[in-house]
Amino acid sequence: MALFPIRTFGDPVLNVAAARVDDISSALERLVDDMLETMYDAPGLGLAAPQIGVSKRIFVADIGEGPFTMINPEIVDLSDDEWPFEEGCLSVPGWYWSLDRPSYAAARGIGLDGNPVEYAGDELMGRVLQHEIDHLDGSLLLGRLPKRARKSALRDLRREALGFDVGTA
């Protein structure tokens, strides 16, 4: 197993839609092992393949109930009620933003054995499913923030990256 460096905000691989996985090889199984090791080492609740530079529709997650893997996952149900949560991302380390998203989500995909899998849940589970599948669509949580919050988040990130305040231009 191997640890991968986690790609961070600004890396273009995080902004492109990842490709569907057509066949499950032993190389893919090794990749998933490495993703799990990288996720636990970080530590994080989930990790999508683009976050280690692999633009494929795979994520791993563990919200404390054991690890699971989804390949080619798709959201199949979202609740109408929203749940506020201080959401973070291993690709934007150290930052958390309060973000409302549907509390419940269900996702369907395939597992490492090639069989269909479905994961669903409220609150943290629903959040992880939405967050990780967003990564596979090339979208970071910043893009989900309301406009004003997004502007201020981007300003904070620029300031951090450059080490000084560049204003709002």
Residues that bind Zn ion (CB under 5 A): 89
Minimum distance from residue 75 beta carbon to Zn ion (Å)? 16
Query: Residue 95, SS3?
Result: coil
Q: Which amino acid is at 121?
A: G
Minimum distance from residue 165 beta carbon to Zn ion (Å)? 26
- The span from the CA of 167 to the CA of 127, in Å, is 32
- Compare residues 52 and 89 and give the one whose CB is closer to Zn ion: 89
Minimum distance from residue 26 beta carbon to Zn ion (Å)? 27
Query: Residue 160, SS3?
Result: helix
Catalytic entry in 29, 86, 132, 160: 132
By Cβ distance, which residue is nearest to Zn ion? 89
Backbone angles phi, psi at 54, to 5 degrees: -110, 110
Residue that the structure tokens 């997004």 belong to: 150
- Compare residues 5 and 116 and give the one whose CB is closer to Zn ion: 5
Minimum distance from residue 135 beta carbon to Zn ion (Å)? 6
Instruction: Determine contact, residues 75/106, Cβ cutoff 8 Å.
Output: yes
Answer yes or no: 118 catalytic. no
Helix, strand, coil percentages for the chain (3-state, nearest 5): 35, 25, 40
Q: Active-site residues: which are they?
A: 132
